[in-house]
Amino acid sequence: MFRGVGAAIVVAAALLAASPALATPGATYGIQDDAWLLYGPGTLSGRVGTLQSLGVGLVRVTLRFDQIAPERPTRPRDYRWGAFGRALDALHARGVTTLVTLYGSPRWANGGASPATLPTTGFGDFAAAAAARFPWIRLWTAWNEPNSRTFAVPVSPEDYVRNVLNPAFDALHAASPKNRVAGGVTSPRKTPTGMTPYDFMKGMSAAGARLDAYAQNPYPVEPGETPTHVSCLRCGYLTMATLPQIRQAVTRFFGTVPIWFTEYGYQTNPPDELIGVSYAEQAQYLGEAALRVWRAPGVTILVQFLVRDEPELGGWQSGLFTVGGLPKPAYHAFALPLAQASRSGSRAVLWGQVRPGTGVRTYVLQRAVGSAWVPLGGRRKTQPGGTFTREVDLRPGARVRILAPAIGWTSPPLTLS
């Protein structure tokens, strides 16, 4: 990081807008935390089990070229997969879909510079070696946030396309026609030494980028930004709040390819007193972002970053767990996202999902009455992907939550507006 109509007609239109026919019912909701997955507390098997208990649809993992091939390989066995290989093997053994990001370059591939320096040789061979070692992986991205000098030197769409994206695309498609490769993976705004994601896309297109999908990291960039609201609409931000502009830009430069949101999350206060949101807001925004992606045709992946807060305040504190391992409300909000889709008078349309499990799942929508929670209509069934929409007769200020009987969990309360 690494953004004069009758009430009945209005409600009907809201339900239609949220219906699977006009949405992306196959959208996959995943998570990324390389440090936690590879080296976190407990066993690797236990950490994978934690992800499965949350109903994680996919796990994004970064393969570091500089660490896997510190010396120039002459044979396939010269690649040192180490902890990366063990993690990917463990995910595969448990049936967890993986999205792999190829990143970092060794000194021999970039003229003796830092890992963030774009390689001038070897990246296609690395992609081919990764595809051979992990033949079950079908989702790939090339590099991370190349429009920011933090992750790419130089910030050059031409160099990125010529030396990173297109070699990886060609090697991965040669390995299997089932492989899908996303390019871009751009950060949401221009840094002092970087480019706006829009300008980087434009440069990629001019350089002849080959890709199956476009990846964007749509983090919020302003204090007070939500998944649906950003103050500055002309600042060149491409965040979750400007999703229509992301779709427009991607379509302009690359056609109607799918969009993958490969990193997204809200930092919390505590511990980040500068830009963090409250625990309750983080949980609420998880649901709102999930609904926004579900409603957006062609946005097929949303990845939460992180599992656990990073220990240094200069790092990232958007985890579902605190650095000490305590679950935040976002822990259950990830498993059971809930959001308000619309309102007309006393009636509200709710959207939610039960992520743990497969196929049609059972849920109970509950309403707070005093200090008690009472069911609204008893047990219901989700769609096969675990999602549901419900129209309820509840005024603003009412509090609701999801109960998933199969796992005994409830979502954090949602206060209706």
Mean pLDDT calculated for residue range 104-124 = 98
Instruction: Tell me, yes or no, whether 249 and 376 share the same domain.
Output: no
Q: Report CA-CA distances (Å) from 141 to 310, 384, 386.
A: 24, 28, 27
Q: Is residue 317 part of a domain?
A: no
Residue located via tokens 């991965």: 172
Computed from CA positions of residues 1, 204, 106, 115, in that sequence, does the dihedral angle turn out positive or negative? negative
Q: Is residue 269 part of a domain?
A: no
Q: Is the pLDDT score of 264 beyond 70? A: yes
Backbone phi, psi, residue 34, to 5°: -60, -45
Could you tell me the pLDDT band of residue 25, with boundaries at 50, 70 and 90?
low
pLDDT value of position 379: 96
**Which of 236, 264, 292 lies at the terminal end of a domain, its last residue?**
264
In the chain, the number of structural domains is 2
Q: Is residue 330 part of a domain?
A: no
Q: Over the stretch 381-407, which tens digit does the pLDDT of each residue have?
A: 999 999 999 999 999 999 999 999 999
Q: Is residue 28 part of a domain?
A: no
Q: Give me the amino acid identity at 48.
A: V
Could you tell me the pLDDT band of residue 280, with boundaries at 50, 70 and 90?
very high
**Burial category of 373 from C-beta neighbours within 10 Å (exposed 0-12, middle 13-18, buried 19 and up):** middle
Q: Is the pLDDT score of 293 beyond 80? A: yes
Could you tell me the pLDDT band of residue 115, with boundaries at 50, 70 and 90?
very high
Could you tell me the pLDDT band of residue 15, with boundaries at 50, 70 and 90?
very low
Instruction: Tell me, yes or no, whether 343 and 248 share the same domain.
Output: no
Instruction: Tell me, yes or no, whether 51 and 172 share the same domain.
Output: yes
Q: Is residue 274 part of a domain?
A: no
Instruction: Tell me, yes or no, whether 345 and 258 share the same domain.
Output: no
| H-type alpha helices, 134-255 | 157-160, 166-175, 197-206, 243-254
Mean pLDDT calculated for residue range 173-193 = 96
**Burial category of 4 from C-beta neighbours within 10 Å (exposed 0-12, middle 13-18, buried 19 and up):** exposed
Q: Is residue 294 part of a domain?
A: no
Q: CA 330 to CA 352: how far, in whole Å?
A: 14
Could you tell me the pLDDT band of residue 73, with boundaries at 50, 70 and 90?
very high
Mean pLDDT of the chain: 93
pLDDT value of position 345: 95
**Which of 222, 237, 264 lies at the terminal end of a domain, its last residue?**
264
Instruction: Tell me, yes or no, whether 259 and 355 share the same domain.
Output: no
Number of neighbouring beta carbons within 10 Å of residue 379: 11
Of the candidates 140, 148, 146, the one whose C-alpha atom is nearest the C-alpha of residue 118 is: 146
Q: For position 378, which CATH number holds? A: 2.60.40.10
Domain range for 232 is 40-264
Give the whole-number percent of the chain exceeding pLDDT 70: 94
CA 125 to chain centre: 27
Q: Is residue 325 part of a domain?
A: no
pLDDT value of position 336: 98
Q: CA 327 to CA 337: how far, in whole Å?
A: 15
Residue located via tokens 């002092």: 192
pLDDT value of position 24: 55
**Which of 217, 237, 264 lies at the terminal end of a domain, its last residue?**
264
Q: Is the pLDDT score of 209 beyond 80? A: yes
Q: Is residue 316 part of a domain?
A: no
Q: For position 50, which CATH number holds? A: 3.20.20.80
Q: CA 105 to CA 119: how far, in whole Å?
A: 6
Instruction: Tell me, yes or no, whether 219 and 349 share the same domain.
Output: no
Q: CA 284 to CA 71: how far, in whole Å?
A: 46
Number of neighbouring beta carbons within 10 Å of residue 174: 13
Q: CA 221 to CA 328: how far, in whole Å?
A: 22
Q: Report CA-CA distances (Å) from 263 to 145, 193, 217, 362, 399.
A: 10, 21, 5, 29, 30
